[in-house]
Structures are given as C-alpha cells and as structure tokens.
Amino acid sequence: MLDIKYYRQHLDEVAKRLLQRGVTLDTELIQQLESQRKQLQIETQSLQNLRTQRSKAIGQAKAQGQDIQPLLDDVENLGEQLKQKKHELDQRLQALQTIYASLPNLAHESVPIGKDETDNQKIRQWSEPKHWSFTVKDHVELGDGLLDFASAVKITGARFVVLKGQLARLHRALIQFMLDLHTEQHGYTELYVPYIVNQHSLYGTGQLPKFKSDLFEVSNDFYLIPTAEVPMTNLFRDEIVSEEQLPLKRVAHTPCFRREAGASGKDTRGMIRQHQFEKVELVQWVKPETSYQALEELTFHAETVLQKLELPYRVMSLCCGDLGFSAAKTYDLEVWLPGEKNYREISSCSNFEAFQARRMQARFRHHNDKKTIELLHTLNGSGLAVGRTLLAVMENYQDEQGKIAVPQVLQSYMGGQTVIDSSTA
RNA sequence: GGAGAGGUGGCUGAGUGGUCGAAAGCGGCGGUCUUGAAAACCGUUGAGGGUGUGAGCCCUCCCAGGGUUCGAAUCCCUGCUUCUCCGCCA
C-alpha cells in the first residue's frame, strides 16, 4: 500500500502513474469519499471528546456525592449519535481501505514503460546457449524413469511430480548448494520457517486481499505459503528495528504451493509449472536510500547460482505492465532451456520499497535521531526456483545418449558422482 | 485432547468501573559533577491517526474482535496465545 497522505495530496499524479501499470483510478470517487471521511472524522472525534468531558464530570459529581441524574439526562442521546457517526465514518474508511489495498505499487522511474512481457527490457546476458550436434531432448524425455508424473497424478493430481533416485538427490543437492552459497558467500542468515501462514501475513506481503484465488487455503485463516517471502518478510511485521541492524539478510528453503488458477492449459508439459515446488528465497530489509543498490546486489546473488552452475541466462527488467502487484521494480532471471529453445523465468528479484513495510508496519529507528522512525524497504528474490533449476541442469547438461552430467559445483553434494544415467540410476 | 493460571509500554511489574496512556524499578536519551569514565543527582523517554501555515488542540490503542456502561486496562462473550500438570505423539 502507498502512503495514504500521498494519495490525498498527489491523487492525480498517482492516477497517472497507476495508468502506466494499466490500473485506472476513480479519482472523483476517492475525492468524494475522502472529503466525507474528513468531515465525519472531525465530527466523530469531537463527539468522542464531548463524551469524555461529560463522563469525567459525572465521575467528579458522583465522587462529591452530588445528584448525577441531570448530568445523565444530558448525555442521553450522545451514545446513539456517536454510534451513528462512527458507523458512517467506518463505511467511508472501509470503502477507501478497499480501494487503497487493491492498488498496486508505483513503478520506479527506471522501469521500462510497456504493457506486457513483450515490452520487458533485456539488461544483460550471461554466456551463450550451447550448440548441439544432436537433437536435444527436453527434461521430460531425459527424466524418463526418474521423473514420474503418472504416479503424482495417481497420488494427488495434475501439476505434481515424483522424483526418484539420483534425480531426487540432484534436486536436494541444488538446495544445499544454494543455501551454502548464500550463507557462506553472500552474508545471508539461514532460516527455517512455517509453511502455513495466517491471513495477516498474506496481507502484509500483498497476496491478500486481491489474490486469494492463487492460494491453497488449508482451513479457516490458514494458507499454504505461495513463496517463502510471506513467512520471511513478515518476521518484522509490527517491529521497530534499530538502524545498526540493517541491512538484514535472510535466506530460507521452502516448498511453495500455488493454485495456478489462471494458468490452465499453460505449461502443462513437464515440471515448469507445478502446484508444489521448492524454492530458495532471499529477503532483505534495508534503509530506503540503499534499496536500489540492494536490488542490484540481491539480483547478483541469484545470478551467481546460475553462473556457478554454468547455465546461460539473461536478465530482464520487467516493464510497468508486467510488474507484480507489490513491486516497484523487478529483474527476472531467465535461464536457457534447450528443450524449449527458449529463455524461461527462474528467478524474480524485486524491490518493494515501503509498499510491504507499510502494510505490515515494519520500521526502523534512526541511530542519530532516536525519535525518528521510518518504514523499511523490503526486497526479495528467488535464489533460485529449485524445480526449474533442476530441469535447466538436465536439459543443458545432456549428452547424445540422454545421460546428464552433474555440474561440477554439485558433485561434492552428490557423493562425487559425475553423471546421471536414467537407465541405471 | 483434558484441568488450571496468565497475556499491561524496550524489559520487570502495579493497577479490578471514573481526572489512567497507565505507578514504581530497570534500560535508553540529555544534563550536572569529573582530566576521562563510573557512581550519584536532575530532567526526559510508547505507537498510530485527525486537524492546523504554525505553536498547538483533539482522537484511538493496556493480546485480537465483539458486547455492557454516561464512563472499561478493569465487567461479559468469542478467538488467539503463553505457562504448569495429565493424556497422546514424530
């Protein structure tokens, strides 16, 4: 959410910038609601003030043994009036809150203008797709025997997978490798977090109220996490940290659960788009003036995983129209998939500025001026999506016989094994 | 799952219907003293919001959400949560 005061004072500018993101703001309605709100709030508060004064007078009179009946008669209607005003005020406040909470973040000035993913801007590219002297297979063919979709359908349903043998181990090796890299070389502290969260947490990071249909609801007020961003970022909900603690950097590996409600028919082959997948997530809490530098660093931390795995990728700056709800700026890392002959998203690194922090009241106290409390800026990025990394490794490390070489950095996590052969694994 | 006791400011903890946003202590910040520091002493010290150019004035918040009352930290209901005991359990 944006600063309410900012909405009030710069409504036209906000409307203009939201339009870049494809969101039309009914400024007239907002202005109308705001002016009603202002009037009702003043009236309500003055009634509350009156009530307090009268109640105190009654208390005093009673303490002195005076007859309080005349005073009670005097306040007879006050409660009813107050109730009425409060109700009217609440209606306006709720209407405004509903509008404000459903509005996305404003894009940073450096974000490319555009409507959809075709307008995303390529920032850089690392390495080149390999040239193959044989017909490459995709991960579904390569994983024959180890990548078991049929069993998953039987156990659960579509968009799940069972991994077996050396492939399951490679999957686990990737997780260990990523966690070790980020904790040992990039300064992140590892976390283990709940995979089920309440609605307050989902509101804080921006999944609720707008994107409920993307989530698996376990029971009333319990949801499976769609990303570790939710439990991690909410660690500092309603907290005031001291400036010296910043930047805070955390990493966690969790499964992620997504309904993929809007994706029916899309990416149905293989394990590109699953209801359950593993992700290693990077989260940072930083001072506002450093958040864009932090975004570059965090993106580089994610890129490092791909570089060490020697997987060709490119970095895309998402345009206004393709930006996620809470993000002010996002870099997507797209890995080369020979089986698809295409780059596919494998990490998304975003600066949310104060958008999430405001929703969750995550703040810091200035070191020099202890009275000053300011909202933090939050960032996160996948470092990386494990399922997609696994299939990227499979497709990029295949040979003519359909065997998969184990990337060098993973070999120590695989007991020294250098090749996965699905016919023997 | 059963029984009992709790949840108050950064922390400890008092407050069981009236001028309480809340005693006291600790901690923090500023000062006096000191060559410096400590000690001692003095002062100060929660958050969110409304309104106003401003000084200020005002509202809300004592786990959360409802309720009773002229008035609620205090009484009632629901939920969450912590601790102790019992049961069950990876």
Q: Kindly report, residue by residue over A46-87, the tens digit of the pLDDT.
A: 999 999 999 988 888 888 878 878 888 878 788 888 888 999
Continuous segment of H or E residues that includes residue A363: strand A363-365
Q: How confident is the model at residue A418 (pLDDT cuts 50, 70, 90)?
A: very high
> Which nucleotide C1' is nearest A54 CA?
B70
> Which nucleotide C1' is nearest A374 CA?
B47
Quote the longest CA-to-CA distance of chain A.
Answer: 103
> Which nucleotide C1' is nearest A46 CA?
B58
CB under 8 Å to A111, separation ≥6 — which residues?
Answer: A317, A318, A319, A320, A323, A328, A329
Distance in Å from B53's C1' to A38's CA comes to 19
Neighbour-count burial for A231-265, b at 16+ CB within 10 Å, e otherwise: bbbbbbbeeeeeeeebbbbbbbbbbbbbbeeeeee
**pLDDT tens, residue by residue, A351-386:** 999 999 999 989 998 887 777 888 999 999 999 999
Segment A298-318 mean pLDDT = 98
Q: Which residues have CB under 7 A from strand B?
A: A 4-5, 38, 41-42, 44-46, 48-49, 51-52, 54-56, 58-60, 62-63, 72, 75, 78-79, 240, 361, 363, 370-371, 373
Whether the pTM exceeds 0.90: the reply is yes
Residue nearest to nucleotide B64 (CA to C1'): A200
Residue nearest to nucleotide B29 (CA to C1'): A370
What is the average pLDDT value for chain A, to the nearest integer? Answer: 92
Is the sign of the CA dihedral A355, A201, A104, A313 positive or negative? positive
DSSP characters over A388-401 = HHHHHHHHHTB-TT
What is the C-alpha separation between A356 and A325, in angstroms, rounded?
10
Is there a contact between A425 and A166 (Cβ–Cβ < 8 Å)?
yes
Position A350 scores a pLDDT of 98
Q: How confident is the model at residue A408 (pLDDT cuts 50, 70, 90)?
A: very high
> Which nucleotide C1' is nearest A8 CA?
B50
Lowest mean pLDDT among A90-94, A127-131, A230-234: A90-94
Whether residue A119 is predicted with pLDDT greater than 90 in this model: the reply is: yes
**pLDDT tens, residue by residue, A170-182:** 999 999 999 999 9
Distance in Å from B56's C1' to A70's CA comes to 34
- ipTM score assigned to the predicted complex: 0.86
In 10 A of CB A41, how many CB atoms? 15
Distance in Å from B43's C1' to A369's CA comes to 19
In 10 A of CB A378, how many CB atoms? 29
Distance in Å from B6's C1' to A193's CA comes to 27
In 10 A of CB A306, how many CB atoms? 24
What is the C-alpha separation between A23 and A116, in angstroms, rounded?
13
Is there a contact between A398 and A167 (Cβ–Cβ < 8 Å)?
no
Whether residue A425 is predicted with pLDDT greater than 70 in this model: the reply is: no
> Which nucleotide C1' is nearest A90 CA?
B60
Lowest mean pLDDT among A6-15, A62-71, A185-194, A238-247: A62-71
Distance in Å from B59's C1' to A173's CA comes to 57
Position A318 scores a pLDDT of 97
Is the sign of the CA dihedral A389, A393, A394, A396 positive or negative? positive
Residue ranges of E strands in A44-146: 121-126
CB under 8 Å to A387, separation ≥6 — which residues?
Answer: A161, A171, A271, A274, A277, A278
Position A322 scores a pLDDT of 95
Segment A129-133 mean pLDDT = 93
Position A136 scores a pLDDT of 96
Distance in Å from B35's C1' to A367's CA comes to 29
Distance in Å from B32's C1' to A268's CA comes to 76
Position A36 scores a pLDDT of 93
Continuous segment of H or E residues that includes residue A332: strand A329-337
* Helix (H), strand (E) counts: chain A: 14, 18
Report helix, strand or coil for A200.
helix
Chain B footprint positions (protein CB, under 7 Å): 18-19, 28-29, 47-51, 58-60, 70-71
Position A157 scores a pLDDT of 94
Position A347 scores a pLDDT of 98
Q: Is A106 exposed, middle or buried (0-12, 13-18, 19+ CB in 10 A)?
A: buried
Radius of gyration of chain A (CA): 27
